[in-house]
Amino acid sequence: MIKIFRLKNIISIKDFERQDIEYILDEAAKLEDIAKSREFSDELKGKILGLMFFEPSTRTRISFETAMKRLNGQCIGFTSSGSSSVSKGESIADTAKMFEGYSDALVIRHELEGVSKFISDVVNVPVINAGDGAGQHPTQTLLDLYTIKKEIGQIDNLKIALVGDLKFGRTVHSLSNALCLFDNVKIYMVSPPELKMPQEILIDLDNTNVEYEEADKIEDIIDDVDVLYITRIQKERFGDIDDYLKIKGAYVVNKKMLEGKDLIVMHPLPRVDEIDTDVDNTKYNKYFTQAANAVPVRMAILKTVIKNNPK
Ligand code: NCD
């Protein structure tokens, strides 16, 4: 079967069909050698990527830049609202239109849900959502799925625990939606009562054949899972800092808890205190591999959307 990729904009993983995900994962596998051996290809020579990062980022922004540069393209952009003319009162739409004039695709990170979608409605170049508030983070999900497929062998039949801030964590929202496209998946959701998975995502899951179960403690589910996907409590999204302080440190995974278990530990990073550093030098640690996989996966995304949508 010839696989195709149908999307111009990467806004929500809910826009994807299984074949779109498989297309990107297959492309990423082909590009992994270039990424890992620190080589370059001319796939995007002469192309410019606009990076509009209104919210802080390390991995996402740097891996998009690395991906573009490995394909011999170039990057322009800003890394905070304060360093763009939005701080002078320019509208996001006007800023985006400037970037449209200068670049072949835009990558957007913003603290408000829906901003990438809004920008995709006002520009003609492809728009990639690199995280919108507590909404979606579709390119993180693609690299998470790539990592799961590489490490476990397949995504079908997966048993995964999502641990931590399931209310505000956009990575677990996107990942849950994506898993709806695979067969026989079971999700265990482990969070403090205040940070449970939003009802709308549970409804999405109810409409598919993904099975899910909520749990209070990691210990209750650790023997049943292939992947422990740990997340940071999203401090910046709490209205009241005291609410954050009450929950901070609620879940910590350490080496002792993992000994003898047949699973891998993933985390979108940054970690605060939810994975003890004694896990770093064990076979369970796949979070740094996951971060490295961002480069071939984002190379695949950029190559696909920029080549499919020439200016
Ligand atoms: C995540 C994000 O920004 O949503 N980080 C990332 O992109 N790898 C997770 C987080 O900030 O906790």
Q: Which residues line ligand 1 (CB under 6 A)?
A: 59-60, 131, 137, 140, 170-171, 231-232, 268-269
Q: Is the pLDDT of residue 2 over 90?
A: no
The H or E element spanning position 32 is helix 18-36
Question: Closest ligand 1 atom, CA of 268?
Answer: 8
Q: Give the pLDDT mean for 306-311.
A: 95
User: For the CA atoms of 194, 197, 199, 205, what is the dihedral angle to 10 degrees?
Assistant: -160
Average pLDDT, the chain: 96
Pocket test for ligand 1, best of 140, 175, 238 (most atoms within 8 A of CB): 140
305 close to 105: Cβ distance less than 8 angstroms:
yes
Q: Is the pLDDT of residue 1 over 70?
A: no
Q: Give the pLDDT mean for 144-153.
A: 98
Q: Whose CA is nearest to atom 1 of ligand 1?
A: 268
Question: Residue 177 — pLDDT band, cuts 50, 70, 90?
Answer: very high
13-18 long-range contacts, Cβ below 8 Å, gap at least 24?
Answer: 13/136, 13/138, 13/141, 13/174, 13/175, 13/177, 13/178, 14/136, 14/177, 14/204, 16/138, 16/178, 16/181, 17/181, 18/181, 18/182
pLDDT in tens, 49-87: 999 999 999 999 999 999 999 999 999 999 988 878 888
- What is the CA(56)–ligand 1 centre distance, in A? 9
pLDDT in tens, 32-53: 999 999 999 999 999 999 999 9
Domains of the chain: 13-136+294-308 (3.40.50.1370), 138-291 (3.40.50.1370)
